[in-house]
Amino acid sequence: MSKKVLIISGSPRKNGNSDILCGQFEKGAREAGNTVEKVNLRELKIGYCKACYGCRGTGACVQKDDMESLLEKMVAADVLVLATPVYFYSMDGQMKTMIDRTLSRYTEMRDKDVYLIATAAAGRRAMARTMDALKGFTDCLPGAKVRREIYGEGVYQRGEVESTPAYREAYEAGKAV
């Protein structure tokens, strides 16, 4: 059965290493017959959460920006892929801002299969905090299951990830959706 896959790339760098892994996941998922959409956070206008809690009464954020349409896509998807480079042992700012802005609708993101992708110049140990933070978000989504964590480790320059096991892993994970 075909699934709706939403890939959210936090990479601020077009064709950066985490972006490349998103492309591999997308390729595998499409080949498996799924409907896939990739969203690049760097191309969206998403403001910071203002902690005004206006969404608590209405279910909608008071800010009118690109997050509104992204939330629709997240709720509708069967599969969420969250990809980020690691900056100072955590996800990049674009991904964190997006996660914070799900406050108005995160409880509607039920029963998602989730795949996590991270890339870093450092090794897996240094990336653990990033994966833990991403899993902290997915733990808040009712019934969500993290299906796979993909570590693009030891990569700094654009394209280096293509010679790592993560390159193949991302494709295979997409193919297995």
Determine which helix (DSSP H) or strand (DSSP E) holds 153, and give its type and residue range.
strand 145-153
Q: What is the CATH number of the domain that holds 29?
A: 3.40.50.360
8 A C-beta contact, residue 143 and residue 109 = no
Q: What are phi and psi of 163, to 5 degrees?
A: -105, 20
* Total domain count, the chain: 1
Q: Where are the beta strands (DSSP E) in 26-98?
A: 35-40, 79-87, 90-91
177 residues of the chain, pLDDT tens digit each: 899 999 999 999 999 999 999 999 999 999 999 999 999 999 999 999 999 999 988 889 999 999 999 999 999 999 999 999 999 999 999 999 999 999 999 999 999 999 999 999 999 998 999 999 999 999 999 999 999 999 999 999 999 999 999 999 999 999 999
pLDDT at 14: 94
Residue 41 belongs to what domain range? 4-175
Identify which of 115, 126, 173 has the alpha carbon closest to the alpha carbon of residue 154.
Answer: 126
Determine which helix (DSSP H) or strand (DSSP E) holds 46, and give its type and residue range.
none
